[in-house]
Chains A and B, each alone.
Chain A
Amino acid sequence: MGKFLIASVTALAALIGVAGPAHAAGGGDVKLVSGEWSFAGPFGYFDKGAMQRGFQVYLEVCAGCHGVEYLAFRNLADLGYNDAEIKAIAAEYEVMDGPDDDGEMFMRPARPADMIPSPYRNDNEARANNNGALPPDLSLITKARANGADYLYSLLLGYEDAPADTEVPEGMYYNNAYSGHLIAMPQPIYGDDVEYTDGTPTTPESLAADVTHFLMWAAEPKMEARKRIGVAAVFFLSIFLIMSYMAKRRVWAELH
């Protein structure tokens, strides 16, 4: 068993040694602050209140420029909304449907099965409206960046005055969490940008944490199921490992 353990540990060490640095590559002196996330760890879960508030922040602060193209209205059930609420949210949007019997495309109110419409029809329109910079779609953003949740949280709170030796060009902003520090997105959150209905304070930290929570769910909506099954699977396989080792000892004992 000892040798096998060594083999396993070697394999894992090789993995971490090789895969780890491949990721850390990126900005050298970026500053990441770490949030307190309920979704972290093997028993992590999504906080419905935080997600609903985060969805509100997304709608009122981010949605003007950023889409969430892989989310459908029906997915909002995960946030704790019921069917009627989801229908009401969807009905506020118009989506294109058709062609009708005359061959024309037409707009109709969105239904729960529809995807949440993005603010721009395509990337070119998005660039044209944002000084040539493309606001990325946010539905996978926390998985598409290293240290997703912490990175996003830090980025939203990372706006500060540029150091004296850094020149910030027109249309760019200084952010201590962004690789290269010059970012085309103006500071989105100042505090009190939205009005929460549940009495949660609207400090910049609170708003940033909530929208991060929402986007973490958006990127990995099956995380709770994954971790729940994972705990059971690891428990089962641990027992299986112990049992098979005992069985192996028993079988081999008769040989010696």
Chain B
Amino acid sequence: MANTNSKPAKSATDPREVGRRDFIVVATYAMGAVGAAAVVWPLIDQMNPAADTLALASTEVDVSKIAEGQAITVTWRGKPVFIRHRTADEITRANAIDSSELRDPQEDEARVQKPELLVLVGVCTHLGCVPLGQKTGEVKGEYDGWFCPCHGSHYDTSGRIRKGPAPTNLEVPPYTFLSDAVIRIG
């Protein structure tokens, strides 16, 4: 019940100094800050892919029905995946050039597991458009592979960038042969 209204007493308890060097006071505020930081993580993590989204991260595709020279488009992780059953001619042309001259040097062999089956993520590496060339009659570009209509990137029969602004080859997704007929992408 002491009176603190006299001037000297007041300066002795300058509010700016009270508790500033006191361990328990500093520790309490620090603990509060740690607690707040711990709560932030769930709020951020919820934006990462959810369990059901991750469960769809692999797709199984029957590739036995694709005729030679034909291609199909399947969906994997919300993106198109191009699967082309290449002709002997297309394989030859893919191997004919010296890969070291390419913008993104890569041998055709390194991009396929079986030479006749080419599996690509159908997203242009420039800015994410879907290149043309899957359906018969569509523009396939100057190298007979795929052509991106957005900014004019030309891909060859191995999906490698040959002309245009795209910096890298079309991505090959991870996939495995479950049998001769079925592949699992992802």
Contact = CB atoms under 8 A, between A and B. Distances in A.
Contacts of A246: 24, 28
Contacts of A74: 51, 55
Given A113-B55, A256-B2, A236 B35 contact: yes
Interface string B5-39: 00000000100001100101101100110010000
A250 interface: yes
A240 B28 contact: yes
Nearest to A101: B72
B56 interface: yes
A251 B2 CA distance: 15
A250 B55 CA distance: 54
Nearest to B32: A240
A251 B25 contact: yes
Nearest to A113: B55
A254 B24 contact: no
A239 B25 contact: no
Contacts, number: 46
B55 A247 contact: no
A237 B19 CA distance: 21
A250 B24 CA distance: 8
A25 to B, nearest CB: 35
B181 to A, nearest CB: 14
A254 B10 CA distance: 10
A128 to B, nearest CB: 31
Interface in A201-256: 236-237, 239-240, 243-244, 246-247, 250-251, 254-256
Given A72-B55, A256-B2, A247 B35 contact: no
A112 B55 contact: yes
B80 to A, nearest CB: 15
Given A72-B55, A113-B56, A254-B13, A247 B4 contact: no
Contact of A247 (B1, B2, B24): B24
A181 interface: no
A66 interface: no
Main secondary structure of the interface of A (DSSP, over half): helix
Contacts of A254: 13, 18-19
B101 interface: no
Interface in A159-205: none
Contacts of A72: 52, 55
B1 A251 contact: no
Contacts of A237: 35
A50 to B, nearest CB: 23
A150 B105 CA distance: 66
A256 B1 contact: yes
A111 interface: yes
Given A240-B32, A240-B35, A247-B19, A255 B25 contact: no
Contacts of B13: 254-255
A54 to B, nearest CB: 22
Contacts of A255: 4, 13
15 contacts: A72-B52, A111-B60, A113-B52, A237-B35, A240-B28, A240-B32, A243-B28, A243-B31, A246-B24, A247-B24, A250-B19, A251-B18, A251-B22, A255-B13, A256-B1
Interface of B: 1-2, 4, 13, 18-19, 22, 24-25, 27-28, 31-32, 35, 51-52, 55-56, 60
Given A240-B31, A240-B32, A250-B25, 15 more contacts: A72-B52, A111-B60, A113-B52, A243-B24, A243-B28, A244-B32, A246-B24, A247-B22, A247-B25, A251-B18, A251-B19, A251-B25, A254-B13, A255-B4, A255-B13
